[in-house]
């Protein structure tokens, strides 16, 4: 007889992809896990695959970034003991019917309470923090770096490794070179996927979000912010925007 169960202390956590329940035939041969259906698939599908990129306007990209940051912040600051995801990337970020992000796939996640160095590198190429490859030390700042790369993908529409970046260079190196060049042209090149037809106010939001991504991908772990601070900075980037209708009404009033 099939047995259906739900977690004893089920808690709905925004932006984390949780098990809703499980089903077993009573033996040890078959166990099925029940998850919420995510109709918009993964962020990787939308950014780089067959997904509908029209769903990814600037507001949607920013909301996804905030959602992922909130999910990782929950792992780092609200779990006891804290948890490092260790494989944060667009294919592990799922999107529900409202385009809210859920952090998924905890197969290599690690509790951080007295965690010893790992015996091998876990994670995906392009998202691994530079120091992790030689220290093998698990901590929150490794996830912060991975999140920064994901945020750069949202801003640029590019993958973490592309021939255009140059041999041995990543999306982080490419963006930093463009920023060092200065001027609006550099920002336009970096965020070409969402830059066109945006107001100056929106472009300011994009520039502030890019600044957060660059902080997260600092080479020094000590210079990277906590994920709780990342959430605050991303929310602050859009806090002062005036509603479009109100801005249009104000502009019309000025011309009369």
Residues annotated as catalytic are 87
Reading the block at residue 106, the tokens are 């905890």
Checking DSSP bridges between strand 31-35 and strand 19-24, what pairing results, if any?
antiparallel
Q: Which residue, 65, 29, 24, is CA-closest to 47?
A: 65
Half-sphere exposure (Cβ direction) of 219: Cα atoms closer than 13 Å: 3
Whether cis (ω within 30° of 0) applies to the bond prior to 220 is: no
Instruction: Compute the distance between CA of residue 206 and CA of residue 59 in angstroms, rounded to an integer.
Output: 10
Q: Are strands 31-35 and 83-84 parallel, antiparallel or unpaired?
A: unpaired
């Amino acid at each position: 007889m099939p047995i259906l169960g739900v977690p004893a202390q089920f808690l709905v956590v925004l932006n984390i992809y949780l098990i809703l329940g499980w089903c077993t035939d009573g033996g040890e041969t078959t166990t099925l896990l029940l998850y919420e259906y995510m109709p918009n698939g993964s962020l990787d599908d939308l950014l780089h695959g067959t997904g509908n990129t029209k769903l990814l306007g600037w507001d949607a990209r920013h909301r996804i970034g905030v959602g992922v940051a909130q999910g990782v912040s929950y792992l780092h600051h609200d779990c006891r003991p804290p948890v490092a995801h260790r494989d944060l990337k667009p294919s592990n970020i799922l999107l529900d019917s409202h385009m809210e992000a859920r952090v998924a796939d905890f197969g290599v996640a690690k509790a951080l309470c007295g965690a010893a160095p790992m015996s091998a590198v876990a994670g995906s190429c392009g998202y691994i923090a530079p120091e992790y490859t030689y220290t093998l030390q698990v901590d929150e700042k490794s996830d912060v770096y991975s999140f920064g790369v994901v945020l750069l993908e949202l801003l640029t529409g590019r993958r973490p490794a592309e021939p255009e970046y140059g041999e041995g260079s990543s999306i982080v190196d490419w963006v930093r070179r463009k920023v060092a060049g200065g001027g609006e042209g550099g920002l336009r090149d970096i965020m070409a996927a969402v830059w066109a037809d945006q107001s100056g106010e929106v472009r300011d939001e994009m520039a502030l979000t890019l600044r957060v991504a660059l902080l997260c991908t600092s080479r020094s772990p000590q210079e990277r912010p906590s994920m709780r601070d990342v959430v605050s900075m991303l929310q602050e980037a859009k806090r002062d925007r005036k509603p479009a209708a109100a801005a249009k009404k104000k502009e019309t009033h000025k011309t009369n």
